[in-house]
Amino acid sequence: MTGTILLVEDNELNRDMLIRRLNRAGLEVIAAGDGQQALDLMRSEQPAVVLMDMNLPVMDGWTACRHAREDASISQIPIIALTAHASDADRLTALEAGCDDYATKPVDFPGLLIKIEKMMEPR
Amino acid sequence: MTSGPSKSTAPWSDLLLRNMAELRELYNHASDQFDEDAQADFARLFDGSSRMDEMLRDADSSRHDLMNVLSAVRGYSEILREDLSAEHADIDAALARLLKAVDSANSDSDSTPARASSRRIIHSEPGFILAVDDLQENRELAARYLSRSGHIVVTAASGEEALLTLDQADVDVVLLDLMMPGMDGHEVLRRIKEHPEWRATPVIVISGRQDMDGIIECIEAGADDYLFKPFNPVLLQARIKAGIERKRWHDREELYRQQLERNEKFIRATFGRYLSDEIVTDILERPEGLELGGDLRRVTIMMADIRGFTTISERLAPAQVVTLINRYLGAMTDIIMAHQGTIDEFIGDAILAVFGAPQHRDDDADRAVRCALAMQQAMEEINQRNREDGLPEISTGIALNTGDVIAGNIGSERRSKYGFVGHPMNVTSRIEDVTAGGEILIAGSTLESLQREYRVGQSRELNVKGIDELLQVYPLLGEQS
């Protein structure tokens, strides 16, 4: 696998853990703490995949997703939503906002890795 | 959607805390066997656990925040499992259990069917529980389990802190971890059982491992019960309940004992100086027989004094007077008390005693008569000693009279005594006035009250103020031989 992962997560404990695990899986990771920062980094760094928490300060995940889909320069970057809710409605909300997939917290890491891998495969 | 900690989150969070506590204990014993990276990961894992504690306690924290922490707990647990070497199979197993608990939290907590046993809550009288454990998770866990069944839980992180709490609060049950740095559980137990006020507080000891020897040692040292970690919440509640009941019984018993002691002290203080020990004990054993307050009693009154004492004392030094009078009064007091008489007062060399109050007996008059005879007989020995000490010989006259008097606590709020009021008191005094030294004069009323026969001499007639008829008095000569 090549390419950088953008992790958008405001919770420090969880962010550090995910960075650690992604690094251990051989992935390069950059991180953002809010939706606005995420959009900026997507534009400047063109990451291979974005892992985005939905409850974010400044700009929430759903809004950031919608903006990303409207911006041609980054609309193709796959986004995996990280949600705290396991209900169908929450998943749908994330998918409707333009996310390509989702993972529920507490994150099943092997499952998440498979999703990331799939998205990094050339289409 | 935010949901604070609700009862429905309890089963999985209990399980999680329990597994976390178990893991931390295992880790604490082996922490030096891990490299820096692993130590850092353990530190982050436990950090996550403390944050989770806070969130579960804080009603405002959101499910989102909770899931973030759970996610971190899960992540670090998995990292650690990947890195652990085979020698740490126990820690690996603990991590696996922890992950399972995280899973059950993840699969929607509201619909997780809790195991029947962890749902079951034992209800008991609420108590004040002191949970002593150096590990925060264990304290938190005990507090959660027990506050759920209505107890108030205070925690102490060390033996020293536990003793401070015991000093300040009335604790019903102590839940005591044995393995603690500093003052350990064994020492805390020893101090509790040595302390006069804490001794009765039930102590439930908790052992981290299946340490049977340690438990047996504690039970021998006075522990009331024990639990092994990780403890079953229902078992904990049941043992706490039993502990509280024991404590309540003890408290009630102690209160009752103190009341009895106070009553007995009061009665002894009130009557001890007038009554023989025998009478006081008798009253204490049958409190219903004694009615306080003024009431009319038929009693036999005794008055005795030393003939011509004023003249005698004028010829003696003050110290000699005191020796003389104390010797006489001391001997007389012993005899009166031996005959279960109540000494009302000493007036100078005169003695006023009553037979039949506060406790009535059928032989009141008989005892008074025998008492008077014994007193006269004792004069011989008193005079013998007086002669040896170069003191003058003395003689006493004793008057007895029987009649109805008011007996009770007489006086004011500030100063009162058990005393007697009534005309028969004055009559006795009048008889006493005409009694010669060595003589016992008894009124007709006393003679009529006697159950046994006594030898009496020729009756005399006495004019008493307030009585129209002349009063018949008889010199008492002795018992019927």
Q: The domain spanning residue B219 has which CATH number?
A: 3.40.50.2300
Q: How far apart are CA B357 and CA A73, in angstroms?
A: 114
Q: Are B102 and B44 contained in the same domain?
A: yes
Residue A64 burial class via C-beta count within 10 angstroms: exposed 0-12, middle 13-18, buried 19 and up: buried
Choice between B132 and B50, residue whose per-residue pLDDT is larger: B132
**What backbone torsions phi and psi does residue B215 show, to the nearest 5 degrees?**
-65, -45
* Cβ B5 vs Cβ B59: under 8 Å: yes
Q: How far apart are CA B221 and CA B395, in angstroms?
A: 67
Please report the pLDDT score of residue A50 as a whole number: 95
Choice between B65 and B326, residue whose per-residue pLDDT is larger: B326
Q: Are B60 and B126 contained in the same domain?
A: no
| Window 52-111 of A, Cβ < 8 Å to B | 53, 55, 84-87, 104-107, 109
Instruction: Please indicate if any CB of chain B lies within 8 Å of the CB of A26.
Output: no
Number of domains making up chain B: 3
Q: How far apart are CA B203 and CA B243, in angstroms?
A: 8
With respect to residue B280, please indicate whether it lies within any of the assigned structural domains. no
Which whole-number Å values give the CA distances from B192 to A10, B185, B254, in the listed order?
49, 10, 18
Tell if the CB–CB gap between A85 and B1 is shorter than 8 Å.
yes
**What backbone torsions phi and psi does residue A107 show, to the nearest 5 degrees?**
-65, 135
Number of domains making up chain A: 1
Q: Are B176 and B298 contained in the same domain?
A: no
Q: How far apart are CA B82 and CA A24, in angstroms?
A: 11
pTM of this structure:
0.49
Q: State the best of B52, B62, B71, B73 to mutate against chain A, taking most chain A CBs within 10 Å.
A: B71
With respect to residue B128, please indicate whether it lies within any of the assigned structural domains. yes
With respect to residue B270, please indicate whether it lies within any of the assigned structural domains. no
Q: Are B453 and B312 contained in the same domain?
A: yes
Q: Which domain holds residue A105?
A: 4-120
Q: Are B439 and B300 contained in the same domain?
A: yes
With respect to residue B115, please indicate whether it lies within any of the assigned structural domains. no
Q: Are B471 and B357 contained in the same domain?
A: yes
With respect to residue B367, please indicate whether it lies within any of the assigned structural domains. yes
Q: How far apart are CA B445 and CA B464, in angstroms?
A: 14
Tell if the CB–CB gap between A105 and B76 is shorter than 8 Å.
no
Task: Tell me the chain A residues in contact with residue B69 when contact means C-beta distances shorter than 8 Å.
Answer: 11, 13-14
pLDDT tens across B385-415, in order?
999 999 999 999 999 999 999 887 776 666 6
Residue by residue, pLDDT tens for chain A (123 residues) are 458 999 999 988 889 999 999 998 899 999 999 999 999 999 999 999 999 998 888 888 889 999 998 998 998 899 999 887 666 677 778 888 888 888 888 888 888 999 898 888 765
How far is the first Cα of chain B from the last one, in angstroms, to the nearest whole number?
108
Tell if the CB–CB gap between B72 and A14 is shorter than 8 Å.
yes
Most confident of B6-20, B247-261, B285-299: B247-261
SS3 B39: helix
Final residue of a structural domain among B249, B272, B303 = B249
Q: How far apart are CA B203 and CA B188, in angstroms?
A: 10
Q: Which residues contact B464 (CB under 8 A, 6 or more apart)?
A: B426, B427, B430, B471
Final residue of a structural domain among B249, B272, B295 = B249
* Cβ A103 vs Cβ A82: under 8 Å: yes
Tokens of A63: 């809004």
Mean pLDDT of B24-45: 87
Q: Which domain holds residue B155?
A: 120-249
Q: Are B233 and B382 contained in the same domain?
A: no
Task: Report residue B325's pLDDT band, with 50, 70 and 90 as the boundaries.
Answer: very high
| CATH number, domain with residue A53 | 3.40.50.2300
With respect to residue B272, please indicate whether it lies within any of the assigned structural domains. no
Final residue of a structural domain among B110, B129, B150 = B110
